[in-house]
Structure 1
Amino acid sequence: MRILIIQHSDKEHAGGFRPLFARDGHEISACIAPDEIGDVDLSHFDGLWVLGGPMQVWQADELPWLAREIEVIRDAVLVRSMPCFGICLGHQLLAHVLGGSVSQAHQSEVGLLHVEKSGEVAMFSGLSGPLPCFQWHSAEVSRLPEGAGILARSEQCAVQAMSWGQTVSSVQFHAEIDAATLADWYEIDGCEEMLRQEIGSSADHVFGKLTAAEADLTRIRASLYRHWLAGFTR
């Protein structure tokens, strides 16, 4: 399959999902927003992933390229019915496109935290909670799109995972993150400093915590990936 991945930095890639794509022989193309979003032609692709970034959904009025990205997502989901998966900002953009609302969170979530499944759901099949996950967000889905379901939540954020119809799913947390991917993030100017501003001395231990949790993180990624792939056959 041909999968387009919208990234908001060349360092903020699909991380731990990349071995799964490679194993199954998918053809992956990265679109780095904002520079490349204007050239997207979805007719060349079978599925869409939208990753995270530091911008906010409500900035579309001041960022024309973000408005263009929203139109690309709307075309993929509502016109072409493409299987789509969103992470963090991508999760929020999907909710926005589908008619939900995104607002400033009452409390940011940053670091290796946990989410709870909302019952026995296919997205997290075979996994028992609480589930470890890397978080870095200050906005959240505040109103669920009509017809969407909440598949996971945390104490601070009610919509940690969402599904809509047969082909759209998304997570607020950074399911792609492992220690190697965070090391790539650290190559972005100011990233490490921003993380330290958010979580202080806990940043000294974040790589060790990610490494210790890698077995669980791998199982979560595998379950999310299987669930999303099932959208091609539903």
Structure 2
Amino acid sequence: MPRGGPRASCLDRLLETDRQEYLDRASELPADVARKRSVIRALEWTGETFGHHVRFAEIVLDQISDVPDPKILELGAGHGALSRKLLDWHPTARLTVTDIEPASVAAIADSDVGAHPRATVRQMDATALDAADGEFDLAVFALSFHHLPPAAAARVIAEGTRAADTLLIIDLPRPPAPLHLVRLATMLPWAPLVPFVHDGVISSLRAYSPAALRALAAHAGEDIDIELRGGLFSPQVAVAARR
């Protein structure tokens, strides 16, 4: 399925790629490891500087505002900044902080998040969760969903809504094709020089549209409802749950 959805235009279908970001590469070559670390540092810095961590934490807390002592599963945690905010802001929330990358899991485990008494850090594949049905009140997947090809993305929706009462996806919006071209044109000159921009270009090309998210949820399960909000200049937010 195209990233723009089943009825994506020809131009929109051209604006996608199967190339991996530096973050997705398993290479242990020193240059690739350095680029990956550079991207992770840049993501953490931009998230703090531009308030993304704060905004995402507000979205999560709004979602579980009526749940006492919530159990939250963070998928694809990366640097762990979102879970850190949630632990700071919610006095009783219990966090299971996960990522598929061993290096990211080790870094989080060695940080203040890993030492927190209400946090558990684990390596976990979001497409095959090592969790019981309904074990969590909320599963959250922030700024990582676009890394997945459609088949894996649908499995995340199926697994997230199995292991948690609600799955919250916060990700990049996919603009209409003409605006997408403008966005890419401003980024491409810097992509060969700056690893963060390189990954940003690929992320933009791999972002899912609202139509694609609806199609993925339908494929994941006939009993899954998905609500979408956000838009062109704000994060795309999807809330999925089983009926």
Does TM, scored on the shorter chain, surpass 0.5? no
Q: What range is the shorter-chain TM-score in? A: 0.3 to 0.5
Rg: which structure is higher?
Answer: 2
In terms of fraction of residues, the more helix-rich structure is 2
In terms of fraction of residues, the more strand-rich structure is 1
